[in-house]
Chains A and B, each alone.
Chain A
């Protein structure tokens, strides 16, 4: 089983619909992240959380919200999906420290039509 699990892996939704992407991890890391990846734009940080009570906006948080339900769970919501939110979304986790990098989930393909 993957250490960082994302659901759903693929979703097609309609404009204006609410959708939630869920992430759970078994790595025991306090830090969790949501990124989106678009061709030519690389990985961009949406939100991050350093513990259950700490939520921070990233580079591109507009149109998104998050919830950190537990140390191991971090969900991303699109309240009213729009077509330019079509992208590959990654959840990631890390431990603190300079040498500690982040570990990605398998990704969730979201298409908004």
Chain B
């Protein structure tokens, strides 16, 4: 069974701090990795994806991928209260290329 693991949180950070969200996956054949943000009762929305080892930056967000360690993370710089949400890690792989989702980490940014 392919698995994607995330700490459920809640992760609480003060406004302006860096929030670090982590995800591990079990399938070494996984090929691409996605981070979604989901506000309570709303649909998940894509923040960014990564498929090469290293860092990928998009505004205040940085995704980091280490395939050898089967680890992907999301850093949010200058965290804002509006970043308070659940962050879902998703991994694509396998013969069908479907996404497998982690259960999400709830982030709370305190003013």
Residues on A close to B: CB < 8 A?
33, 40-43, 45, 48, 50, 56, 58, 88, 90, 96, 98-99, 101-107
Residues on B close to A: CB < 8 A?
8, 31-32, 34, 41-46, 49, 51, 88, 90, 92, 96-99, 101-104
Q: List 24 A-B contacts (CB under 8 A).
A: A40-B8, A42-B101, A42-B103, A43-B88, A43-B101, A48-B96, A48-B98, A88-B41, A90-B44, A98-B31, A98-B32, A98-B51, A98-B92, A98-B97, A99-B49, A101-B34, A101-B49, A101-B90, A101-B92, A101-B99, A102-B99, A103-B46, A106-B42, A106-B43
Whether the pair B90, A99 counts as a contact (CB closer than 8 A) is no
Q: Is the interface of B mostly helix, strand, loop or mixed?
A: loop
Nearest B residue to A88 via CB reads B41
With A96-B97, A101-B90 as known contacts, state yes or no: A42 contacts B43, CB within 8 Å: no
Nearest B residue to A4 via CB reads B43
Nearest A residue to B50 via CB reads A99
A40-B8, A43-B88 given; name 16 further pairs at CB < 8 Å.
A33-B98, A40-B103, A43-B44, A43-B101, A45-B98, A58-B98, A88-B41, A96-B97, A98-B51, A98-B92, A99-B51, A101-B34, A102-B99, A105-B43, A107-B42, A107-B43
Q: Is the interface of A mostly helix, strand, loop or mixed?
A: strand
Contacts of A56 in B (CB 8 A): 96
